[in-house]
A and B are shown apart, each in its own frame.
Chain A
Amino acid sequence: MSLDSKTPPGPLAEKWTRYRGTMNLVAPNNKRRIDIIVVGTGLAGASAAATLGELGYNVKCFTFHDSPRRAHSIAAQGGINAAKNYANDGDSVYRLFYDTIKGGDYRSRESNVYRLAEVSRNIIDQAVAQGVPFARDYGGLLDNRSFGGVQVSRTFYARGQTGQQLLLGAYQALSRQIALGTVEMYNRHEMLDLVLVDGKARGIIARNLVTGKLERFAAHCVVLGTGGYSNVFYLSTNAMMCNVTAAWRAVRRGAYMANPCFTQIHPTCIPQSGDYQSKLTLMSESLRNDGRVWVPKKKEDAKAIREGQKTGRDIAEEDRDYFLERRYPAFGNLVPRDVASRASKTACDEGLGVAPTGLAVFLDFTAAIERYGKSKAHSMGMHDPSPEKIRELGEAVISEKYGNLFEMYEKITGENPYKMPMKIYPAVHYTMGGLWVDYNLETNIPGLFATGECNFSDHGANRLGASALMQGLADGYFVLPYTIGQFLSNEIRTPKFSPDAKEFVEAENQTRERLEGMINIKGSQSVESFHRRLGKIMWEYCGMARNADGLQKARKMIRELREEFYKDVFIPGSTEEYNPELEKAQRVADFLEMGELMVLDALNRNESCGGHFREEYQSEEGEAQRNDADYAFVSAWEYKGWEAEPVLHKEELVFENIELKTRSYK
């Protein structure tokens, strides 16, 4: 079965405007009669809930956090892209569209990406009006910087806390609607199932995390903004509670999961320090604007550094290999994330890693400190500054730009990054895959919508830096509130649904049985231990580089692990109380299913593209080899049951406006 993307007709640049102008509307008096459930309060969820509330719908909004403000969008550091061309460097909607499609290695839908680029400009306007304190220059206008993988400065930022500020903007907009009564907020409620009535999404089963009780909620449609599934790898830069459960429960009810193997490995994270580690911390990609990535040229130097006999400082300039600058002279340290990550992995695989684990490369600011120091001294009228003075001035400039990141690095590692080069290593960061959605952001289940990282739509096989915030907010503020009308305009005669209908009671009972089944296993191993083991399998066989043998092995291992989980997991406490271990258990149970699907998808995709690198498909220089003839499609997987093989549905990607090229950053 081929999937209908419902892309509207017309020239690319006019599709969205035309569509928006002709799509069905819901009259204000009818909006009041329509209920919408929004799950998740990150950028996508909070902005959608707030905007739908503003429009007059009755919104019920859910988060498993104690407050909507805690969602993990808050941790995004670097910035948000927008085709404003304030920097006058040749940016345009088309260029942002082009960069995003190319950055995504030609595995995303043209129409969606163009729309994203178009509305990116409105997001900045909206955020500024909400009081987001973006960086400004002395004239009082907004400042921009460039970000990995592009050659224009289109990234708006708020120090290293752009995600936090944008999320607070959305949270405040949501809070306003809560106060006005258009949005009813349910904190500490986790969605555990999707309820379908006559094949349409009409509600959810949520667990009240404080009392442990299951509660039923009905509405005319359901919107998921529940984020990505990076935590399937256990160690990732995601927050501890990020999970796939809401999306996976939808998959179990028939929604298709698209491109699950497209996961992004971010090149600049703080390397793992030990087995006890619970998560990895990202250092913003913006650091690559000024930092130079290198490893020693000689293995013996690398070995000496690993053993603590030498430091990065002791390696002479000519003995350093600035491998990104060497391999990719056009983009240098600013190559896209997948390319940079893989290059670091290659260097470490060759035995040139610089951390005791062998898994780290240097990110060095010496040159930038010197450059900034000299220019600062010049602007201060110093003609012959001493090297110490230059360093001091340069460090001050660096501190102004990245102070909070440097501080965070020092807190975690105990090393001063102004004096010693930073050590970094790639880590799982974002998942491009997600629920399959059409142009309206509607999944194949009518009435079920997915926004933000939860859907698959805009980033193809690799996301560009500063584009996640853009997509989450584009979906929530400017796309879904319009497109949801296409579904809801046919529902104005549908009376409100009762959460006591048999479909709801049934779903609640199934959820209860599932939870009680898990807690009654009373085995001997902790949930955490299973999660760690799953993460290791995923990282080893389905991480930065994959091959068919490994993936087959991984699939078997995951299945065995899953069986072991259901035989031997131990969950303390009971279901009817505040029980974080139970919450974790049910999330890990879903990861154990999702992980297998990722492996299967990776196995099925016999090409290397973006974040998906199959070792069998690489050039002699080790660059990824895409196969456009056979794999220019979205793989959307239909779940068929515990033991059955999932069924693959393909959405062929049609590129009418862009020529597919080999992605080169050389």
Chain B
Amino acid sequence: MKLTLKIWRQKSLKEKGRFETYKVEANPHMSFLEMLDVLNEELIAKKEEPVVFEHDCREGICGTCSMVINGEPHGPMGGTTACQLHMRHFKDGETIVIEPFRASAFPVMKDLAVDRSALDRIIQAGGYISVSTGAAQDANAVPIDKDTAGHSFDAAACIGCGACVAACPNASAMLFVSAKVSHLALLPQGKVEAKRRAQAMVKQMDLEGFGMCSNITACEAECPKGISVENIARLNREYLSSALGSETVA
């Protein structure tokens, strides 16, 4: 299949970027990133600079790949990362527009690669259970209801790719934050510091310059792991109860 690609090229953080148009011949069984590999090999053969895009596991779990394909983070297929998207879902002769994830908190470093370290800093603010190695009791000491464990898992399935931020018209990171808050708050082990966690993570999220959630739900629609906005409601509850209900004044 013959394709026309319009790809955002940007030399570095400081320089301005623009779209460049390329032609590429792809096989329908290729993954989207393999199609870009083909393009890059051709560019290298012409001694031109290949398109920089981030990727690693190519099986939809590491969360490294990050590009907006025809207006959608990770492309048009629901529940699919860019690396798991296959060319059979595109038409021969189609023009595909590829842009980096865009948000003020995700500055573009080069071409399609953006800096998502803000998400790490949010986790560092409190996205963990404070338990040091060796201090744990027997794993079966605290039973956890199967459904609750399941809901916790649903939230924990977040791969931290940042598609929610890229998709959100407000560039809000609420889905990401709420997934971690939910994952941990639902488990008895994480419940203990749930209040402190919600406060700390939201504070960091605000500091990083993400937008505010207006419940548009584009995040859930574009999330490759189908994380639900129910988690955002849970985060709101956790935050409200900790901001207004906890005895800690700070």
Is A298 on the interface with B (CB-CB < 8 A)?
A: no
B130 within 8 Å of A by Cβ?
yes
Query: Does A411 sit at the interface, judged by CB under 8 A?
Result: yes
How close is B49's CB to chain A, nearest CB, in angstroms? 5
The answer to whether residues A131 and B129 also contact, given A408-B59, A570-B44 and a CB cut-off of 8 A, is yes
Q: Which of A31-39, A121-129, A249-257, A594-602 contacts B (4 or more CB under 8 A)?
A: A121-129
Contact assessment for A70 and B63 in the assembled complex, using a CB-CB cutoff below 8 Å = yes
Interface: A481 (CB within 8 A): yes
Which of A71, A75, A84, A185 interacts with B59 by CB under 8 Å? A75
| Cβ-based interface call for A66 (8 A) | yes
Binds A, one of B30-38, B167-175, B208-216, B232-240: B30-38
* A165–B29 touching, CB < 8 Å: no
Rounded to whole Å, the gap between the CB of B164 and the closest CB of chain A is: 16
Contact of B34 among A69, A70, A72, A276 (CB under 8 A): A276
Is there contact, CB below 8 Å, between A141 and B140? yes
Given A66-B115, A126-B136, A176-B130, does the pair A408, B60 have CB atoms closer than 8 Å? yes
A173 at the interface (CB under 8 A from B): yes
Q: CB-defined interface of A249-277 with B at 8 Å, one 1/0 digit per residue?
A: 00000000000000000000000011011
Q: Is the CB of B116 within 8 A of A414?
A: no
B109 within 8 Å of A by Cβ? yes
Contact of B57 among A75, A125, A274, A478 (CB under 8 A): A75
Stretch binding the partner chain, chosen from B92-100, B153-161, B242-250: B153-161
Would A175 and B128 count as touching, CB distance under 8 A? yes
Docked CA distance A328–B44 (Å): 50
Contact with A along B10-23 (1 / 0, CB 8 A): 00100000000000
Q: Does A655 contact B (CB under 8 A)?
A: no
**Complex Cα spacing A178 to B115, Å:** 19
The answer, yes or no, to whether A140 is at the interface (CB within 8 Å) is yes
If A129-B135, A176-B128 touch, does A278 touch B86 (CB 8 Å cutoff)?
A: no
B131 to chain A, nearest CB (A): 5
Asked if B116 contacts A66 (CB within 8 A), the reply is: yes
Verify if A164 is at the interface (C-beta below 8 Å from B).
Answer: yes
Question: Which residue of chain B is the closest to A163 with respect to CB atoms?
Answer: B61
Pick the contact of B144: A127, A140, A158, A526 (CB < 8 A).
Answer: A140
Interface centre among A122, A139, A175 (most CB of B within 10 A): A175
Kindly state whether residue A137 has any CB partner on chain B within 8 Å: yes
Residues of A with C-beta under 8 A to B41: 526, 528-529
How many residues from A make CB contacts under 8 Å with B? 80
In angstroms, Cα B150 to Cα A138, docked, is 11
* Contact call A138/B146, Cβ cutoff below 8 A: yes
A65 near B120 (CB under 8 angstroms)? no
Asked whether, in the complex, the Cβ of B128 is within 8 Å of the Cβ of A173, the reply is yes
A131 touches B27 (CB 8 A): no
Contacts of B58 in A (CB 8 A): 239-240, 278-279, 281
What B residues does A140 contact at CB under 8 A? 143-146, 149
Q: How large is the interface on B (under 10, 10 to 19, 20 to 34, 35 or more residues)?
A: 35 or more
Q: Which of A145-153, A341-349, A497-505, A572-580 lies at the interface?
A: A572-580
Verify B189–A129 contact, CB threshold 8 A.
yes
A256-314 contacts to B, CB under 8 A, are 273-274, 276-279, 281-282
Cα of A276 to Cα of B37 in the assembled complex, Å? 8
The yes or no answer to B56 lying at the interface (CB within 8 A) is yes
Determine if A187 is an interface residue (Cβ-Cβ < 8 Å).
Answer: yes
Residues of A within 8 A of B125 (CB): 179
A417 in the interface, Cβ–Cβ < 8 Å?
no
Contacting pair A129 B33 (CB below 8 A): no
* Chain A min CB distance to B148 (Å): 9
Q: Determine whether the beta carbon of A414 is less than 8 Å from that of B187.
A: no
A276 with B128: CB separation less than 8 A: no
Q: Which residues of A contact B113 (CB under 8 A)?
A: 578
Q: From A66, A276, A414, give the contact of B27 (CB < 8 A).
A: A276
| Cβ-based interface call for A67 (8 A) | yes
Contact A580 B119 (CB under 8 A): no
A136 at the interface (CB under 8 A from B): yes
B117 at interface, CB cutoff 8 A: yes
Question: 27 pairs across A/B with beta carbons < 8 Å?
Answer: A66-B117, A68-B120, A70-B62, A70-B63, A74-B57, A75-B61, A122-B136, A125-B136, A126-B134, A128-B142, A129-B135, A133-B156, A136-B149, A137-B146, A142-B139, A158-B153, A172-B128, A175-B128, A176-B124, A176-B128, A187-B120, A274-B29, A278-B33, A281-B58, A282-B59, A528-B41, A578-B109
If A127-B139, A239-B62, A477-B133 are given as contacts, then 14 extra A-B residue pairs at C-beta distance below 8 Å, sorted by A number, are A50-B133, A51-B133, A70-B63, A128-B142, A129-B136, A129-B137, A133-B183, A142-B140, A172-B129, A175-B127, A276-B30, A276-B34, A412-B31, A414-B86
Chain B residues within 8 Å of A, Cβ to Cβ: 12, 27, 29-31, 33-34, 37-38, 41, 43-45, 47-50, 52, 54-64, 77, 79-80, 84, 86, 88, 109-110, 113, 115-117, 119-120, 123-140, 142-146, 149-150, 152-153, 156-157, 159-160, 183-184, 187, 189-190
In the A-B complex, the 6 residue pairs with the smallest Cβ-Cβ separation, listed nearest first, are A140-B143, A172-B128, A129-B136, A125-B136, A133-B153, A128-B139
